[in-house]
Amino acid sequence: MMPEPITFDNSYYRLPGSFYSNQNPTPVSSPSVIAVNQPLAKEIGIDQAFLCSDEGLKMLSGNTIVEGSQPIATVYAGYQFGHWNPQLGDGRAILLGEIINNTGKRFDLQLKGSGPTLYSRGGDGRAPLGPVLREYLVSEAMHNLGIPTTRGLAAVFTGDHVQRESPEPGAILTRVASSHIRFGTFQYFAAKGDIEALTILADHVISRHYPEALESANPYVELLNEVMKKIARLVSKWQALGFIHGVMNTDNMLVCGETVDYGPCAFMDEFNPGKVFSSIDSAGRYGYQNQPGIAQWNLMTFAQALLPLLADSEEQAVKQAQIVLEKFPEVYAGQYDSLMARKIGLSPENPAASGLIASLLELLDNQKLDYTLSFRSLMETLREEKQLYNDDPAWMAWNQQWLKQFNGSTERANALSAMGNINPVCIPRNHILEEVISQTRQAGDLSSFNELLQALQDPYNPKWMNTIYAKGPDQDQLVLQTFCGT
């Protein structure tokens, strides 16, 4: 059977020319496959046989433009570390087009690392192998941990080197997202005072992501409300998992509510509310405990961009925006509290849950305990009905209080099973990622990459329990800093 070609339907391309520039990828010398994401290909309705064919590889490396693809680089702006930047854009990414799967869901297909664009500003538009592997692995982990995220459909070696501090092997990631439309896309047009473009963009986003908003009395206010809820829920999930995004600039916030930009992100090992990994975040703006507040700040700047659409008078528009934004803390906390209660096997309705969570986090912080592993240890405690692993009196007292919440063996068994579904055994830890990247880079050997990928695709499975994937770093393995993926 001949592989089935991709059918594109490029709705963003049909928007005005001011939304993007036409830009073909720049060919590379000798591409080869690192990974093709079979489950994702299936989900979005792309023939896997095509992706694995010569034609498929040519597409994934930017060496040919397949029929129906209309490659563009999109323009946006953004607040970066709080500072306004009026003009950014896809500087190393090219949108090949959009596809619709058999359930009617639309996806962007984007190459990342495929050469310079109008928005590259001196950069080479390329990506080194390390950040491509990192994004592929971490986004796949996020997906399997139940976090809305952009995903890697494929990763390929280019066969060329990219010059960074030293020459690095080049790679290209094919990224799939519900869309890549950012808070910063709205902010770009709002800042130019181009209300017509702003309206077109808002209408596009409503029909693409939030069609229910059309039934509301004021669809643009409803759009803001829907985005607010999506982002509040997204960040609550990051917090519950100990995920630190690291670069929550408004150009990295998608209006569809999926996680994007896996540059300096990291999962915490030891619990530390102030934890920061990113080498460029010297002020700790995007540290763990700041993420919900930053999300709300970002939403405020998004609302500001929407103001001209929200009401006839500015005063009315501001009022409408405020009503929506004020709901953020409640939506966020509702979701976060419920996730955390479930992480310790309690019903979110249990009145003791929030106090137990607060004191548990304080203990983890004071005793520098591993965030992910501690919840799995609690499962052991519950299974044995006694504290096994830590004889600190404060920890034992906490455990006693917690164990009192369960009446009888059925309740304990139910709690255990629920905890097993929400507390991962393995997360993509920095030290493991670094090791896998360095092995792949040095030897071109993909075996450690593929092994880790397998674990991350099934992160709640107890079978990983005694493997390296379920261990925190030893002192000499500790990774203190992460870097932007350029």
User: Using CB under 5 A as the criterion, which residues of the chain lie in contact with Mg ion when the complex forms?
Assistant: 252, 261
Picked from ligand AMP, Mg ion, none, the partner binding residue 429 (CB below 5 to 8 A depending on kind) is none
184 is a contact residue toward ligand AMP (CB under 6 A): no
**Given the complex with Mg ion, which of 63 and 291 has the nearer CB atom?**
291
71, exposed or middle or buried, with CB in 10 Å at 0-12, 13-18, 19+? buried
Distance, in Å, from the CA atom of 76 to the CA atom of 186, rounded to the nearest integer, reads 8
203, interface contact from Mg ion, ligand AMP, none, CB < 5-8 Å by kind: none
Catalytic: which of 251, 261, 269, 370?
251
Residue with smaller CB distance to ligand AMP, 222 or 251: 251
Q: Return the number of the residue (182 or 230) whose C-beta is nearest ligand AMP.
A: 182
When CB distances are held under 5 to 8 angstroms depending on the partner's kind, the choice from Mg ion, ligand AMP, none that residue 477 binds is: none
Q: Phi and psi dihedrals of 106, rounded to 5?
A: -100, 140
370 carries an active-site annotation: no
CB atoms within 10 A of CB 25: 25
Q: Does position 462 bind ligand AMP by CB under 6 A?
A: no
State how far the Cα of 110 lies from the Cα of 177, in Å rounded to an integer. Answer: 8
CB of 485 to Mg ion, least distance (A): 9
How far is Cα 327 from Cα 336, in angstroms, rounded to an integer? 14
Q: Determine the distance from the C-alpha atom of residue 292 to the mean position of all C-alpha atoms in its chain, rounded to a whole number.
A: 15
Give the HSE-up count for residue 403: Cα atoms under 13 Å, Cβ half-sphere.
17
Which segment (89-97, 194-202, 209-217, 456-464) binds ligand AMP by CB under 6 A? 89-97
Strands 167-177 and 127-128: antiparallel
SS3 assignment, position 32: strand
Verify binding: residue 89, ligand AMP, rule CB under 6 A: yes
**Alpha-carbon distance 432 to 44, whole Å?**
30
Q: Is 168 in the site for ligand AMP (CB under 6 A)?
A: no
15 is an interface residue for ligand AMP by CB under 6 A: no
Q: What's the closest the beta carbon of residue 250 comes to ligand AMP, in angstroms?
A: 10
Residue 89 interaction partner, one of Mg ion, ligand AMP, none, beta carbon < 5-8 Å per kind: ligand AMP
Please, what is the angle between helix 371-384 and helix 353-366, to 10°? 120
484 binds, among Mg ion, ligand AMP, none (CB under 5 to 8 A by kind): ligand AMP
The answer to the question of residue 261 lying near ligand AMP (CB under 6 A) is yes
Among residues 60, 88, 276, 419, which is the contact residue for ligand AMP, using CB under 6 A? Answer: 88
126 lines the binding site for ligand AMP (CB under 6 A): yes
How many of the chain's residues bind ligand AMP (CB under 6 A)? 17
Q: Which two tokens stand for residue 209?
A: 């992501």
Angstrom distance (rounded) from CA 142 to CA 135: 10
Q: How far is the CB of 486 from ligand AMP (least distance, A)?
A: 4
Contact flag: residue 280 with ligand AMP (CB under 6 A): no
Torsion of CA 271, 275, 279, 284, to 10 degrees: 170
CB of 152 to ligand AMP, least distance (A): 15
Which tokens sit at 261? 């930009």
Q: Which does 125 bind (CB under 5 to 8 A by kind): Mg ion, ligand AMP, none?
A: ligand AMP
Q: What does the block give as tokens for 45?
A: 């309705």
Residue 98 binds ligand AMP (CB under 6 A):
no
CB contact at 8 A, 228 and 327: yes
Run of H or E including 203? helix 195-209
Min dist CB 252 to Mg ion, Å, is 5
Sole binder of ligand AMP in the list 52, 446, 479, 484 (CB under 6 A)? 484
Between CA 188 and CA 302 the distance in angstroms is 11
Phi, psi torsion values for 157, nearest 5 degrees:
-75, 145
Interacting residue with ligand AMP among 91, 159, 293, 348 (CB under 6 A): 91
Nearest distance from C-beta of residue 239 to ligand AMP, angstroms: 22
Residue 390 in the binding site for ligand AMP (CB under 6 A): no
Q: At closest approach, how far in Å is the CB of 116 from ligand AMP?
A: 6
Residue 309: count of CB within 10 angstroms of its CB: 22
Residue numbers at the binding site for ligand AMP (CB under 6 A):
88-92, 119-120, 123-126, 251-252, 261, 263, 484, 486
Residues marked active site are found at: 251
